[in-house]
Amino acid sequence: MIRIHLLLLLCSVSLFAKVHYAKVEPFEEITLKSAVSAQVVMTQRNLEGTTVTNKRIIQLDQKMDHIELKSSQKGLKLLKKMSHINQKILLSLKESLQRQEAYYQRIKDLSSASLTQKDNAFYGYINTKNQYLSTQEKIDTLKKQQLDLEYKIALLQDRIQKKEIRIKNKFLYKILVNQGDFVNAGTPLAKVKDLTRAKLVLFLEQDELKDLPKKTIYINDKPTQYKINKRWLVSDEKFISSYRAEIYIKPHNNFSKLLKVELK
C-alpha cells in the first residue's frame, strides 16, 4: 500500500509540474552604434523588416578620409624613396670613412709627414665620420616618420571601414538615423536581430531548479530534446523569487508567439 501511495505521489508531481508560457524571442538583439563621428550620407530604409544577407545599410561620410589616405600613401612612398637614397649615400660614406681612417692611421705617427698633413688627414677623417653619423641619423628619422605614417594610414583605413555599416545574415528591425544627420561616437544607428535561432525565457521557482539537467522539457505538451542552456544563479531583479533561464530552440516561423513550457 505504501508503495502504491508513493507511486501516486510521484505521478502527481509529474502531472502537476508548473506550467510556463514563454514568448518566442530572437536569439540575440543588437543595437549597432557609431564608432566614429561623421555625417550620415545614405541609409537603406527599404531593407527594414527584412533579413539582410550581406549589404551596406548605412553610409557615413568618408570623403576627407579618402583624400587624407591617398595623401598619406603618397607621402609614405616618398619617405621610402628618400630612405633608399640615403642608404646608398651611407654605403658610399662608409667606404670613404674606412679609407680616411686608414690614411690617418697610416701617417699620424710618420716622422716624415708634416703636422699640416696629419691635421688635414685627421679633420678629413672626422668630417667624413660626422657625415656618416648624420646620414645614419637621417635614415633613422625617416624610418620613424614611416612608422608614424603607416600607423596613420592604418587608422584612416580603420575609420573608413567603420563608416560603412554592413550586416550579414541579420534581421534589420529599424534604422535609427536619417540621411543628413551628424552622429557622434556611440550614437545608436540601427537595431538588428539574430533570427538564426530562437530562445524561450523562463522564470523558474526555487523548487524547479532541483535536478534541472535531468528534466525533460515539454513544449505545447510534447516532449523535446531541448535543455536549459543558460541559468542565472541569482534571483531576477523584477521577479525577485524566480530565477531566469533560457532555452535555445530552432528558428521559428512565428516570433513573439507564446508557447506552453513544462519541466518534468
Q: Residue type for 108, please?
A: K
Q: 174 and 57 in one domain? A: yes
Residue 183 falls inside a structural domain = yes
Q: What is the pLDDT of residues 96-152, one digit of tens each?
A: 999 988 888 888 888 888 888 888 888 898 999 999 999 999 999 999 999 999 999
Task: Tell which residue, 134, 186, 195, 141, has the closest CA to residue 168.
Answer: 195
Residue 257 falls inside a structural domain = yes
> Which grid cell sits at 91?
654605403
How many CB atoms lie under 10 A from the CB of residue 51? 14
Q: 256 and 194 in one domain? A: yes
Name the CA radius of gyration of the chain, rounded.
37
Residue 7 falls inside a structural domain = no
Q: Are 146 and 76 in contact (CB under 8 A)?
A: yes
How many CB atoms lie under 10 A from the CB of residue 263? 21
Full domain range(s) for residue 102 = 81-161
Please give the pLDDT value at position 109: 83
* Domains in the chain, number: 2
The confidence band for 18, taking pLDDT boundaries of 50, 70 and 90, is confident
Please give the pLDDT value at position 213: 87
Q: Residue type for 45, please?
A: R
The confidence band for 5, taking pLDDT boundaries of 50, 70 and 90, is very low
> What pTM does this model have?
0.75
Residue 3 falls inside a structural domain = no
Residue 72 falls inside a structural domain = no
- C-alpha 160/C-alpha 154 separation (Å) is 10
With 60 as the cut, is the pLDDT of residue 14 above it?
Answer: no
207-216, long-range: CB < 8 A, 24+ apart? 208/18, 208/263, 209/243, 212/263, 215/263, 215/264, 216/263, 216/264
The confidence band for 261, taking pLDDT boundaries of 50, 70 and 90, is very high
Which of 106, 130, 161 represents a domain boundary (last residue)? Answer: 161
Q: 106 and 55 in one domain? A: no
> Which grid cell sits at 22?
514563454
Residue 4 falls inside a structural domain = no
Which of 137, 161, 185 represents a domain boundary (last residue)? Answer: 161
Residue 146 dihedral angles phi and psi, to the nearest 5° = -65, -45
- C-alpha 42/C-alpha 40 separation (Å) is 6
Q: Residue type for 236, please?
A: D
Residue 28 dihedral angles phi and psi, to the nearest 5° = -150, 140
What is the β-pairing status of strands 19-33 and 258-263? antiparallel
∠ CA 83-88-90, rounded to 5° = 90
Task: Establish how many alpha carbons lie within 13 A of residue 255's alpha carbon, considering only the half-sphere containing its beta carbon.
Answer: 16
Residue 96 dihedral angles phi and psi, to the nearest 5° = -65, -40
Which of 124, 144, 161 represents a domain boundary (last residue)? Answer: 161
